[in-house]
Amino acid sequence: MNYFSSDFKLGILGGGQLGKMLLFDTRKFDIQTYVLDPSNEAPCKIACDKFFKGDLMDFETVYNFGKQVDVLTFEIELVNLAALVKLEEEGLKVYPSPKTLKLIQNKGVQKDFYTEHNIPTASYGRFNNLKSLIVDILDSKTRMPFVWKCTEFGYDGNGVKVIREMADLDELPNVECIAEEMIPFKNELAVIVCRNPSGEIRTYPVVEMEFHPEANQVEYVICPARIDNIVADKARAIALSVSEKFNHVGLLAVEMFQTEDDEIIVNEVAPRPHNSGHYSIEGSYTSQFENHLRAILDLPLGNTDSKVAGIMVNLVGEEGYSGNVVYENIEKILGWNGVTPHIYGKKQTRPFRKMGHVTIVNSDIKEARRIAEDVKNTIRVIA
């Protein structure tokens, strides 16, 4: 099929920043794009060929959108699964497949999948609601501390909380959830795996993630991870195994823990471009977004090696500020070598909302990390 400068239409469910960065590559290759998103102010709106406003969880909306395109992908997991299943049954190419998404969309189902397929993961209990979890705690079956996660609709640190005492449960919603053993770990790592329908597969280097202690959001992504080669090889091997078992097409971001004794256990996965791969726009021979596009169109995959060490800093809304966004001191960091800001196009900021990111590239990873800290301390996302 001719994808370039043709009548071919790629549909993207979700119009957020991941879609916007994917559209940079569709424009580079002159591939026609249709986007569906519930917000009229979606970041994708400025860069796609046709924009549709609609509910991603509504069957008819997603189904009717899918009937207008030749290949369908998504940049967010919270989409109507039944509509994707019907579209695929009718012959539409949907990547990643709804069969893969079904195993990932619900974190309880995802954890069960790891257990069934002998993928190393933290032990956990699965509960229909908060009340049944509380009963389990009172019966001394679930012991504190543990990590509480809602099984659906969680994102960017929302829907995850460390529970150390009963009072920590007070503000939680009465929804389906899992209680996961807290694992003492040295590092949080991630590997992005790229696979096309023909079976070609590549992995990006292992990255290391540093998290904000309160917001449970990634503050820094460091590539390459500052770990032994033996541990890195083990992480890539496990990521490949996870990818194979999910049988995905496109990108699969595999988030992992490196335990105190250098074992690798899987935390969770995302079947799409991922925050842990944003550094690749400047740092890699082929960005994660271009490789997602190549994969879903069954084109040869690009080189996933890094050209240079890279660190990504997330730009999130400052605490105490909500309203029309202002990027304070952005002109200062624009004057620094190897520093590239990406602004997502969200007009309204609020505390901890992801508003953009900054990539720092440098031949010396220590120097890159130092500059990343300066970036973090200089630029502020306020209102």
Q: Residues marked as binding for ATP?
A: 107, 149, 180-183, 188, 267-268
CA–CA gap between residue 291 and residue 28 (Å, rounded): 13
The number of beta carbons lying within 10 Å of the beta carbon of residue 343 is 17
Residues in the chain: 383
Q: Is 193 exposed, middle or buried (0-12, 13-18, 19+ CB in 10 A)?
A: buried
- Closest by Cα among 194, 223, 219 to 207: 223
CA–CA gap between residue 39 and residue 45 (Å, rounded): 9
Contacts of 184 (CB under 8 A, 6+ apart): 259, 260
C-alpha 107: how far from chain center: 14
Q: DSSP string spanning 246-257?
A: HT-SEEEEEEEE
DSSP assignment letter at 71: E
Strand 9-13 to 32-37 pairing: parallel
